[in-house]
Chain A
């Protein structure tokens, strides 16, 4: 077997083992994993339905989509950031490329995300708002979103290896993501400068409003054809620079793990 094939085989086996040791071993486990986002959705819904919900069409669907998208972003960043440390023994005792250890554990949040987005799509279909033509755009968007999330995780992973408290600081600030992204409000509810900050300085916003628009079939304020182009640019830039940053420090990280 060539080294490439051997690494691909290892990646496949590792992914299978990650799934096997997660909740996704059984249907009940997969359903149980929905409890987290549904609980967050329920809390946010009851708090904000009166204040913001009345001004947003299909509020509950958009809120659920937003919660799922942001929780996926958080999960992928967290896993990517800690992947090298979690696999320390194999990283320093084998010749396996780091990419295998970075990619393998992502299979669990990715599958969880597919199931959860599937739930949103089922709700959209049952409400008669979903357009089947949006499926391809959703798939492309999801791939780009994964790239963005991994890129951000790689940046944080390198910084975390340089200063051990970066991971802890990130854990403290990541819940803020739910508030700096238009999850339970829409952009037109913000002041002009607030809208500018959330729209232009937060790469996740482009993805979030694209998901909400594509799933609900109803344009979210701030969405245009350019929103997806900007999302693609953010993903390309964050992933490529994050990966280059990681490769630059890869050996140093291995030696300090």
Chain B
């Protein structure tokens, strides 16, 4: 039986949403008048599921359903307000492109910076520099400040360094967004290889349902912070699509 890498037991995450910017005056005033300055929001509620080694799981749901919060709780960035998260391996997240970059520094400096964020030593980045540049196709912009790159180029750079890491347990949140068609193909090849490997375990959130169906065997559908369905990817995606109405089919295919 495969080893369980991640187990969530009745996990809930509560956020305090402040009604206005907190200032000393507003805090003092609300204390005096006994009116709370915040309202509460359960971003996740009663989430329970397991991730076994080698599984490739898609996370679907509309915007604000709690996908990113679930990833953050699963990784350990956020603490669960209730329930239990048991991890037997570190979950490496890739949420947003450009995270950790210094836009004022050159591409080459940012490669070392990203490498360090993804657990690579300077020597390891040195050894893989050519590969990173070839994959990202940014050889010509090596000494250009990152602020002058387009969002898509930043995405390429980030992804090219990320895949050099040695981790086996990943969380991808909208990773293929922003990439142009050429780079999407490259990413798709990379994902295909990764998805075939029994050593790699992947949690993947995307609005491109076709892509999720290609890569994942299992899917979890989140709705308003709760698990609405957990099962084979085809079935969950079909149910999710149906719930979104006629509009969802073409839109997801287009993306």
**Binary per-residue interface labels of chain B (121-165) against chain A in the complex, 1 for a CB within 8 Å, 0 otherwise:** 110000000000000000000000000000000000000000000
Q: Does A96 contact B (CB under 8 A)?
A: yes
- Collect the chain A residues with CB atoms within 8 Å of residue B90's CB: 3, 95
A13 at the interface (CB under 8 A from B): yes
Contact, CB under 8 Å: A165 / B23: yes
B181 at the interface (CB under 8 A from A): no
The answer to whether A166 has its CB under 8 Å from any CB of chain B is yes
Chain A residues contacting B77 (CB-CB under 8 Å) are 92-95, 254
Structural contact, B113 and A17, CB atoms closer than 8 A: yes
Q: Which of A14, A95, A256 contacts B116 (CB 8 A)?
A: A14
Chain A, range 88-122, C-beta contacts under 8 Å to B = 89-90, 92-96
B15 adjacent to chain A (CB < 8 Å): yes
Of B91-99, B192-200, B216-224, B238-246, the segment with at least 4 beta carbons within 8 Å of chain A is B91-99
- Measured between beta carbons, the chain A residues less than 8 angstroms from B21 are 164
How many pairs, one residue from A and one from B, have CB atoms within 8 Å of each other in the complex? Answer: 78
Q: A13-B112, A17-B113, A255-B15 are in contact. Are A94 and B23 (CB under 8 A)?
A: no
Task: Kindly identify, within residues 31 to 61 of chain B, every residue whose CB is under 8 Å from any CB belonging to chain A.
Answer: none
Contact of A20 with B by CB under 8 A:
yes
A93 to B96, CA, bound (A): 7
Q: From B18, B98, B119, give the contact of A89 (CB < 8 A).
A: B98
Interchain CA distance A92-B116 in the complex, whole Å: 17
Q: Tell me if A95 and B105 are in contact (CB < 8 A).
A: no
Cα(A12)–Cα(B120), bound, Å: 12
Q: How many residues of B contact A (CB 8 A)?
A: 36
B27 at the interface (CB under 8 A from A): yes
Q: How far is the CB of A229 from chain B (nearest CB, A)?
A: 36
Q: State whether A10 and B78 are in contact (beta carbons under 8 Å apart), knowing that A90-B99, A163-B22, A163-B24 are contacts in the complex.
A: no
**Residues on B with beta carbons closer than 8 Å to the beta carbon of A230:** none
A42 at the interface (CB under 8 A from B): no
Pick from A10, A12, A165, A256: contact of B117, CB under 8 Å: A10
Task: Known contacts A13-B122, A90-B117, A256-B16; decide if A95 and B75 are in contact (CB<8 Å).
Answer: yes
Chain B residues with Cβ below 8 Å from A191 are none
Q: A17-B105, A21-B102, A21-B105 are in contact. Are A95 and B121 (CB under 8 A)?
A: no
Which parts of A7-47 form the interface with B (CB within 8 Å)?
A: 9-10, 12-14, 17, 20-21
CB-CB contacts below 8 Å: B96-118 with A: 96, 98-100, 102, 104-105, 109, 112-113, 115-117
Are B22 and A162 interface neighbours, CB within 8 A?
yes
Asked if B99 and A89 sit within 8 Å, CB to CB, the answer is: yes
User: Is B84 in contact with chain A by the CB < 8 A criterion?
Assistant: no
Question: What are the residues of chain A within 8 A of B115 when measuring CB–CB?
Answer: 13
- With contacts A9-B116, A95-B77 taken as known, whether A89 is within 8 angstroms of B16 at the C-beta atoms is no
- Does A180 have its Cβ within 8 Å of any Cβ on chain B? no
Enumerate chain A interface residues (CB-CB to B < 8 A).
1, 3, 6, 9-10, 12-14, 17, 20-21, 89-90, 92-96, 162-166, 169, 251, 254-256
Given pairs A92-B77, A95-B75, 19 additional interface contacts (CB within 8 A): A6-B116, A10-B117, A13-B116, A13-B122, A14-B116, A17-B102, A20-B105, A21-B102, A21-B104, A21-B105, A89-B96, A89-B98, A94-B100, A95-B76, A96-B117, A163-B23, A164-B21, A165-B23, A256-B18
28 pairs, A vs B, C-beta closer than 8 Å = A1-B119, A6-B116, A10-B116, A13-B112, A13-B115, A13-B116, A14-B113, A17-B102, A17-B105, A17-B112, A21-B102, A21-B104, A89-B96, A89-B99, A93-B93, A93-B95, A93-B99, A94-B100, A95-B76, A95-B90, A95-B92, A163-B22, A164-B21, A165-B23, A165-B24, A251-B79, A255-B15, A255-B16
Q: Which B residues are closer than 8 A to A by beta carbons? A: 15-16, 18, 21-27, 72, 75-79, 90, 92-93, 95-96, 98-100, 102, 104-105, 109, 112-113, 115-117, 119, 121-122
